[in-house]
Structure 1
Amino acid sequence: MKTQGILYATALSILLTAGTAHAADSEQQFGPNPNLPEPQRGLLPNMTIPEPAPWDDAKPTVPDGYTITAIANDLKVPRHTLVLPNGDILVAEGKGGGKAPKKRPKDFIAGIIKSKGTTSVESGDRLTLLRDGDGDGTYEDRTVFADDLNAPYGLALVDNDLYVANQDALVRFDYEAGQRKASGPPDVVTPLPARINHHWTKALTASPDGEYLYVGIGSNSNITERGMEAEVDRAEIWEIDAETGAHRAYATGLRNPTALTFQPDTDQLWAVVNERDELGPNLVPDYLTRVQEGAFYGWPYSYWGQHVDPRVKPENPKKVESAIAPDYSLGSHHAPLGIAFSNQQVGGEFANGVFVGEHGSWNRGDPVGYKVVFIPFENGEPAGDPVDFVTGFLDGDDKTRGRPVGVTVAPDGSVLVADDLTNAVWRVTRNDADGQAAEADQPDAAQSSDSEDGSGASS
């Protein structure tokens, strides 16, 4: 035991030292054709978590013409938000996982590193309702809508059915407009894979017609180090019949699909996905993609289409041959956990596209992510580099004051950001109220998809 302790301490010392070294950046990896360098493999990956720091009198930075305000503080690990028809906001609060066995020394070390960037607040395991009774932008009324949940993450509302994706089951509450508290415990729609739960978050969205729910289920490992038997029904997006609870794999090979939504006025499902680690600071790119029914996205056998991952044994050439590439690279290790399509009321250059909440890296020397970005769209697809929308979570001294998770766009154009390090919900509003009203009157204004958002976890 003494020898094991010495070896562990030595490995930890080596890794912590390595984690302070800054890895060289390759060419930026944004867009449909990212630069993919050669894999870098070693005994220990580079690991750095920025030191948490208080906001004090500071707050996140938003573009000129917009204002950001914390509409809720002192929450218990907020992950995702849902805007209800009367303007109330539901917040899913919880933290799951934590029971995956650590099989390698680097697993212990990674746990220590990652814990530096998480809140010490206990999991809320609840839904909190925020209400702005007089419409002044201050959500003065705050109540617990439902508690005794199990690490709730994704949220969706279909008519009078409120769906919540716990880490172990998809459940349903009855909901009436204006309701402040659940009328009783939820019904279970269907159990969800929860053994080990290396990736515990369960992203959720509803089809536009409300007939189906879509749940993102992450893998039980980085790259099958727990064996393929641990990956049954994992690294998939499930399609679930809302009436019966019957499910099928809608798409596979997505290592950790952390947020899902439907593009407004279409039947097109989109996702953001956290890709694999330990191939270097610039592999493998996390991504935004439309989700094609029946498609295989590579994990674990390949990445970004048909780039073979040499660590996976036995190989599976037929699966690699069938793998398709995602639509848009967000860069490696940005850890996207939120997605929401914009609307005309958001305004300016941010009216047509998608917002992505980036939780931030832990596994590279130079931290990346830690912000909300906007991906502009043209003709229904990504068109251009990401544009910073909410920044300031990470400062120039590599200290972090918050970590974005879920993003929701409300019908009035306000953008909500759940922050699971600050334990707050931020609200971004456009200053030009007259401009917003004028755009809202235009007949072709896009509709918000806020009621379909739901997903965050670490990569």
Structure 2
Amino acid sequence: MKHFAYVAATWLTCSVALAQTQDGLTSGSAPALASPYATQSVAHSPKVKPFPGGKMPKVPEGFTVNRFADGLDSPRNVLVLPNGDVLAAEAKTERKYDDPQYRDAGANRITLLRDANGDGVAETRSLLLAGLRQPYGMALLGDRLYIADTDGVYWVPFKLGTTKLDTNVRKTRIASFEAGGYNNHWTRNIIPSADGRSLFVAVGSASNVGEHGMAAEHRRANILQIDLASGKEIVFGSGLRNPVGMAIEPKSGALWTAVNERDELGDDLVPDYITSVRAGGFYGWPYSYYGQNEDPRLKGQRPDLVAKALAPDYAVGAHVAALGIAFGERSSFPASYKSGAFVARHGSWNRSKLAGYDVVFVPFANGKPSGALQPFLTGFIGSEEEVYGRPRGVAIAKDGSLLVVDDAGGTLWRVAAVPHRAN
């Protein structure tokens, strides 16, 4: 089936249970959910064009934004290494939906970016490793660089300072997957556990709501956990339609993920979300959404699973395509940003009016969201038919700035706090 800043910061305070609605977006820890089909499901995909006339994204007062690197070929994800080098995985979608003829082969490589002089711009660019199969996730543990392609996870020997690896470098595989997935669900992200003994692997669904049968969803719509010593794999969290971004919350040590929810129930349903992931927890997909709200397309099929579905922690808007998450503790930002999560909202095709195409901030207290969603990096929407980029991933650089992956714009944006000047 073919499917169709300088921002003045108004910082809102609220209780954990506050639901916030802006321009039809429902967000917060207790979102008010629209009824299924309250509005028609709409296909709306704007064109991506460069920023016109020297314009730039917008950031709150007290921050600056610049291009850390541009001219990249569909960057999808970044890894900041301990020495400050930045690895960028470049790949494109090669098959969309159910069309076997769709091909858009990308660079399929990892590029190393280095800002040796500390001016906030990567003046050195090296091809670290080529010939990959849609790379996305990356993690460095000791002298092993783990890489997640669409068809599996493997590691290669790596030492800090290396700028190029041989194309024939030995790849030691620790997991294999069926390639691809619904729409852009070919991504396989990875992150080490807090103790470094295992890897979490995020694998999106093969469908919107299980329309190909649940046998096709084996090991999908899950966050898997692989023990690095034994190779044993378990399902850590399930019922997560497309859990792309992952991060360890620094206060609690809990795994958090950003989840891209289901399509075709209307403009304001279902909200994408960020959530802590409980070991063994089930989050509803495909039978229910946002806890135990049954999807009408699957009504009555699995009441046992609906009854055990956990509600997510925090909604970040319906059809915003929440993909990246990073906590601000290691940033060099003001204290109000050090306890909270930055979330990249890529924007979705399934909304009549554009939403997302930005990075937002969710404040935290005691390891949990504690207030209203705040705009942070904006200005990517030019009109309902034209955007200037699509934020996908976020990471804290070694200097404490925030790196934002803009895949459609081929750019890594860098947001830094303006140094305080004494009177």
Same-fold call, TM cutoff 0.5: yes
Percent identity over the alignment is: 42
Q: 2:375 aligns with which of 368, 372, 388?
A: 388
SS of 1:395 mapped into structure 2: strand
Residue in 1 aligned with 2:412? Answer: 425
Q: Evaluate the alpha carbon distance shift between residue 428 and residue 347 of structure 1 in structure 2; reply closer, same or farther with a 3 A threshold.
A: same
Q: CA deviation at 1:194?
A: 2.4
CA distance in 1, matches of 2:33, 2:144: 44
Residue in 2 aligned with 1:191? Answer: 176
Match runs of 1:432-451 below 5 Å: 432=419
Q: CA deviation at 1:347?
A: 1.9
Once structures 1 and 2 are overlaid, which stretch shifts more, 416-425 or 393-402? Answer: 393-402
Residue in 1 aligned with 2:262? Answer: 276
CA distance in 1, matches of 2:420, 2:77: 26
Say which structure is richer in strand: 2
CA distance in 2, matches of 1:417, 1:163: 21
CA distance in 2, matches of 1:380, 1:323: 22
Match runs of 1:54-65 below 5 Å: 54-56=50-52, 57-65=54-62
Residue in 2 aligned with 1:317? Answer: 303
Q: Evaluate the alpha carbon distance shift between residue 54 and residue 153 of structure 1 in structure 2; reply closer, same or farther with a 3 A threshold.
A: same
CA distance in 2, matches of 1:202, 1:379: 30
Q: CA deviation at 1:29?
A: 1.4
Q: CA deviation at 1:271?
A: 0.3
Residue in 1 aligned with 2:353? Answer: 366
Question: Any idea what the Cα deviations from partners look like across 1:351-380, whole Å, max 9, x if unmatched?
Answer: 221100100121111110000001011111
* 1:378 maps onto 2:374 in alignment: no
> Which amino acid in structure 1 is aligned with residue 272 of structure 2?
D
Q: 1:33 aligns with which of 30, 35, 43?
A: 30
Does the Cα contact within 8 Å between 1:28 and 1:35 map onto a contact in 2?
no
SS of 2:381 mapped into structure 1: coil
CA distance in 2, matches of 1:72, 1:263: 28
Match runs of 1:169-318 below 5 Å: 169-182=152-165, 184-194=169-179, 198=183, 199-264=185-250, 266-312=252-298, 315-318=301-304
Does the Cα contact within 8 Å between 1:76 and 1:123 map onto a contact in 2?
yes
Match runs of 1:5-24 below 5 Å: none
* 1:134 maps onto 2:117 in alignment: yes
Say which structure is richer in helix: 1
Residue in 2 aligned with 1:67? Answer: 64
Gaps of 5+ in 1: 1-7, 16-23, 436-459
Q: Evaluate the alpha carbon distance shift between residue 397 and residue 285 of structure 1 in structure 2; reply closer, same or farther with a 3 A threshold.
A: closer
Q: Evaluate the alpha carbon distance shift between residue 301 and residue 58 of structure 1 in structure 2; reply closer, same or farther with a 3 A threshold.
A: same
Once structures 1 and 2 are overlaid, which stretch shifts more, 155-164 or 327-336? Answer: 155-164
> Which amino acid in structure 2 is aligned with residue 188 of structure 1?
R
SS of 2:211 mapped into structure 1: coil
Does the Cα contact within 8 Å between 2:151 and 2:177 map onto a contact in 1?
yes
CA distance in 2, matches of 1:394, 1:155: 30
Residue in 1 aligned with 2:136? Answer: 153
* 1:408 maps onto 2:395 in alignment: yes
CA distance in 2, matches of 1:242, 1:182: 23
> Which amino acid in structure 2 is aligned with residue 148 of structure 1?
G
SS of 2:307 mapped into structure 1: helix
Does the Cα contact within 8 Å between 1:171 and 1:190 map onto a contact in 2?
yes
Does the Cα contact within 8 Å between 1:52 and 1:400 map onto a contact in 2?
yes
CA distance in 2, matches of 1:97, 1:316: 33
Q: 2:85 aligns with which of 68, 71, 88?
A: 88
* 1:53 maps onto 2:49 in alignment: yes
Once structures 1 and 2 are overlaid, which stretch shifts more, 303-312 or 393-402? Answer: 393-402
CA distance in 2, matches of 1:397, 1:368: 10
> Which amino acid in structure 1 is aligned with residue 189 of structure 2?
A
CA distance in 2, matches of 1:306, 1:280: 18
Question: Any idea what the Cα deviations from partners look like across 1:183-227, whole Å, max 9, x if unmatched?
Answer: 524221211232656521112111122111001111111111111
Q: 2:108 aligns with which of 125, 129, 136?
A: 125
Does the Cα contact within 8 Å between 1:193 and 1:234 map onto a contact in 2?
no
CA distance in 2, matches of 1:309, 1:429: 42
SS of 1:311 mapped into structure 2: helix
CA distance in 2, matches of 1:170, 1:161: 12
Q: Evaluate the alpha carbon distance shift between residue 219 and residue 97 of structure 1 in structure 2; reply closer, same or farther with a 3 A threshold.
A: farther
Q: CA deviation at 1:96?
A: 3.6
Q: Evaluate the alpha carbon distance shift between residue 276 and residue 326 of structure 1 in structure 2; reply closer, same or farther with a 3 A threshold.
A: same
CA distance in 1, matches of 2:410, 2:229: 35
> Which amino acid in structure 2 is aligned with residue 93 of structure 1?
E
Q: Give RMSD over aligned pairs.
A: 2.5
Residue in 1 aligned with 2:15? Answer: none
Question: Any idea what the Cα deviations from partners look like across 1:114-151, whole Å, max 9, x if unmatched?
Answer: x9xxxx8x511111001112222221110011111111
Question: Any idea what the Cα deviations from partners look like across 1:310-368, whole Å, max 9, x if unmatched?
Answer: 21266111111111100000111010111100025222532221100100121111110
CA distance in 2, matches of 1:211, 1:28: 39
Q: CA deviation at 1:403?
A: 0.2
CA distance in 1, matches of 2:178, 2:274: 24
SS of 1:289 mapped into structure 2: strand
SS of 1:375 mapped into structure 2: strand
